[in-house]
Amino acid sequence: MSEIVLRTRNLTKRYGKEFAVKDVGMTVKKGEIYGFIGKNGAGKTTLIRLVTGLIHKTRGDIELMGACSEKDLHSARTMIGSIVGFPYFYGNMTARENLEVSRLVRNIAGEKCLYEALALVGLETTGKKKVKSFSMGMKQRLGIANALLGDPRFLILDEPVNGLDPISIVEMRELFKKVNREKEVTILISSHILEELSAIATAYGIIDNGRLVEEISAGELREKCQRYIEIDVIKLQNAVVILEEKFNIRDYEVLPNHIIRVFSHLDAVGEINASLLKEGVTVNQIGLKGQNLEDYFIHAIGGNADA
């Protein structure tokens, strides 16, 4: 299998004169949990619909697990598990019956997988209860079970934790991590809840107004978003000695122009300042710097965001 699970080139979808998605070049590598971030209406679901073949592209290319032609894409899509928008089911059927339809549609052998999928999301006890009487959270769980059916190699989850209570969100997050780690399933999760994505994603794609603004790995993002105490001092050596000996600080770096960046003890800014002054080290400036994921996202899309 190709190392690239999903790659799009100049992928564009236009409705009339409006571009829902424009020239998107996105790369999801094998084993990644790709957090797809964007405001409501940014184009996340449109892109997912394009990848899953629900809508037709205006132009551009989709490469899915090495498949590029329309015929090969059909085969590649059989190896995907997906939730596109809110998960919808046949209301007058039970959870098991709904999964049975999926099993037949996806040519998955044996009924054992139905019970396994239901157990994974905690719906094994729903029995004869019809899906129409399920809560939103239960439907979302069933959507996840449906996506996980038949051990897919690539999971595409569009806002998968919408409607889930906080405990369920944590459970599902752990489930996604588990299937990613143990079954080497590559996952693309779209969300506008940044906190949720930051707890799970290993790479990010930021989309705004139909354009992919940036792709960044979690490591790079962490680096960019790392919070630190920046201290501008006159006597650099003395300041370093105080930080190491009095505060036992080891995680720091010294920059030119007498700047020290301290990556730990973020809640001790006042204490550090007082100690430096007490020991006769003149502090020109001291304060917390760096940005969180939210700041980074707002900066990336260039302005105010209701993400």
Partner 1 sequence: MLRLIKAEFYKLFKNKTFKVLIAFIMVLAIAAAGLMFLDSSEGFIGDNDGAPEQQNGPAQIPSAAEEREPAIKPGESGIQFESSVPERPTGKETFQGAFGGGLLEIFFVVLTAALVVGEYAAQTIKNILAYGNKREHYYLAKFIALCCGMVIITGLMAAVPTLAVTLKYGWGAPFSFGEAAWVLKIFFSKTIVGAVILSIVMLIATLSRHYGATVALGIVLFTVSPSFLGFFVGKYAWFDKLYKLTPLYNWPVITAVGAADSHILTAVKVSILSLIILLGMGVLLFKKQDVA
Question: DSSP labels for 61-91?
Answer: EEEETTB-SHHHHHHHHTTEEEE-SS----T
Asked whether position 69 contacts partner 1 by CB under 8 A, the answer is no
Scanning 33-41, 100-108, 276-284, 299-307 for contacts with partner 1 by CB under 8 A, the matching segment is 100-108
Out of 101, 234, 241, 288, the residue judged to bind partner 1 by CB under 8 A: 101
Out of 73, 213, 283, 300, the residue judged to bind partner 1 by CB under 8 A: 73
Asked whether position 288 contacts partner 1 by CB under 8 A, the answer is no
Asked whether position 91 contacts partner 1 by CB under 8 A, the answer is yes
DSSP conformation class of 202? S
The CA distance from 216 to 170, in Å, is 24
The CA-atom distances, in angstroms, between 45 and each of 138, 282, 300 are 21, 54, 20
Residue 97 or 294 having the CB closest to partner 1: 97
The CA distance from 25 to 12, in Å, is 10
Asked whether position 88 contacts partner 1 by CB under 8 A, the answer is yes
| Strand 228-233, strand 283-289: pairing | antiparallel
Helix/strand number for the chain, H first, E second: 11, 14
Residue 84 or 305 having the CB closest to partner 1: 84
Residue 92 or 304 having the CB closest to partner 1: 92
Out of 3, 104, 112, 248, the residue judged to bind partner 1 by CB under 8 A: 104
Shortest distance (Å) from residue 142 CB to partner 1? 11
Residue 292 is which amino acid? N
Q: Do residues 48 and 156 lie in contact, with contact meaning Cβ atoms separated by under 8 Å?
A: yes
Asked whether position 52 contacts partner 1 by CB under 8 A, the answer is yes
Asked whether position 298 contacts partner 1 by CB under 8 A, the answer is no
> Which residue ranges make up the site for partner 1 (CB under 8 A)?
49, 52-56, 73-78, 80, 82, 84-86, 88-93, 97, 100-102, 104-107, 146
